[in-house]
Amino acid sequence: MAIINHLNILVIGGCFLLLLQFATAQETCVNRFQRFCVTEGDSCKPVYGESTYYCVDGTYCNELNYKCEKSSDEGEVCSSTGTIIPCKEWLNCLDGICVETGYANVGEKCTEDYQCNDVKLRCASNGQCQNIDTECSSSKECSYFNYCGGSVCKPRVENGQPCASLLGLDAPCLPNSICNKDIGICIPNYSLQLDANCSTSIACDVSQGLECDGDSDSCGYANFTKTLTPSNINCTFEDCGEIEEMCLCTEDRYTGFCHPKDPLTESQIKKCGSSTKEFSDCVAKHECAYEHADTTPSSCHLTHCASSFCAMKLNCDWDFNSQTFGKGCSGAALLEYQATCQHLGYSTGGSPSLTIPSLLMLLLFIATTTTTTTTTILSF
């Protein structure tokens, strides 16, 4: 065991010098190679320069021993005399225990006040969040079908009815609907077909790849014929063709390839659009009002629509489901929503993350196979 540890230190030391030399070179692509995702039991001590270690998959960096350790789960202790253990991403530490907070809207199920999504709400004896006041100051204090107008909750405009906003009144459409300004009717998000007049892309059916064309103000197909930069182009010096592409470093840090930040091809656009519309239809059907609670598993959104929510994130947020965030981060739960999706059993995308030891061996391998860096290793 001692020998293995010693070896690791040697390898880390070698890479320290290696990366120092890399850092002084000018021709590098996007500087992502210094970010590493590490998991439970791995070291999160920054050993060189600006490197950042992200403890992923429900772990945090314990700064007493610089190891990734499990964050506290629901119902577990998060702080006791002197020690603080962070809660998993979707939980909050309340009186020393990790719990889900602030996810229930007016009329939704609760057992505790802190589960309601506004300080003005209480968990009433009927087991639902309710406003304690007769007055309101925000629409969060009203139920799904109501909004807060002039300090009282008033009805919203239902789908198919004329938008009040166009008549100089303040009643908005339902939470997951939008006023189609051209015909002046409230419609569900993403419901307009090809050639329909629109004022925003939220109105057009994204599952078909439709978006609101700014010139004609009607729903038209997105550009499906964008040509991606070939994968063999080294973009360290050359620009990628599409504005939605970025240059990602490969293992050797001098060689980059182009990677889309957003869905660009027809099938990618439709896949992202389908799950986006599915999610929107799902939250509308289940009358889920507020998106701010959407990473809390017990929220209306995730109780009913977790599958389309996680699919939407995976299919649309390309810059996060690849390894672009950092080395070994592909497939890891790093962002809050990824942690929630992983917890609920959905994929966060990508391949299993590389662990730091295998990553360092890889670096070492690359280093020893390039002549320019061999000297670095020798001098070490």
> By the criterion CB under 6 A, which residues form the site for ligand NAG?
27, 176, 178, 182-183, 189, 197, 202, 223, 225-227, 234, 236-237, 254-255, 280, 283, 291
Query: Please, what is the minimum distance in Å from the beta carbon of residue 378 to ligand NAG?
Result: 21
Nearer Cβ to ligand NAG (38/196): 196
Q: Answer for the pair 147, 136: CB distance below 8 angstroms, yes or no.
A: no
Query: Please, what is the minimum distance in Å from the beta carbon of residue 15 to ligand NAG?
Result: 19
Nearest CA to 315 out of 233, 161, 206 is that of 206
Query: Please, what is the minimum distance in Å from the beta carbon of residue 117 to ligand NAG?
Result: 15
Nearer Cβ to ligand NAG (38/247): 247
Helix 2-24, helix 356-369: angle, nearest 10: 60
Query: Please, what is the minimum distance in Å from the beta carbon of residue 199 to ligand NAG?
Result: 10
Query: Please, what is the minimum distance in Å from the beta carbon of residue 227 to ligand NAG?
Result: 5
C-alpha of 24 from chain center: 33
For residue 246, the cross-strand partners are: 259
DSSP output for 130-148 = EESSSS-SSGGGS-TTEEE
Nearer Cβ to ligand NAG (60/290): 290
Query: Please, what is the minimum distance in Å from the beta carbon of residue 239 to ligand NAG?
Result: 13
**CA atoms of 298 and 282, how far apart (whole Å):** 15
Nearer Cβ to ligand NAG (65/223): 223
DSSP output for 146-178 = EEEETTEEEEPBPTTSBPGGGGT----B-TTEE
Nearer Cβ to ligand NAG (86/149): 149
H or E element at residue 278 = helix 266-285
Query: Please, what is the minimum distance in Å from the beta carbon of residue 143 to ligand NAG?
Result: 17
Bin 222: left if φ > 0, else alpha if -120 < ψ < 50, else beta.
beta
Nearer Cβ to ligand NAG (226/261): 226
Q: In this structure, what token pair is assigned to residue 240?
A: 């990628």
Phi, psi of 34 (to 5 degrees): -90, 5
Nearer Cβ to ligand NAG (234/322): 234
**CA atoms of 322 and 348, how far apart (whole Å):** 10
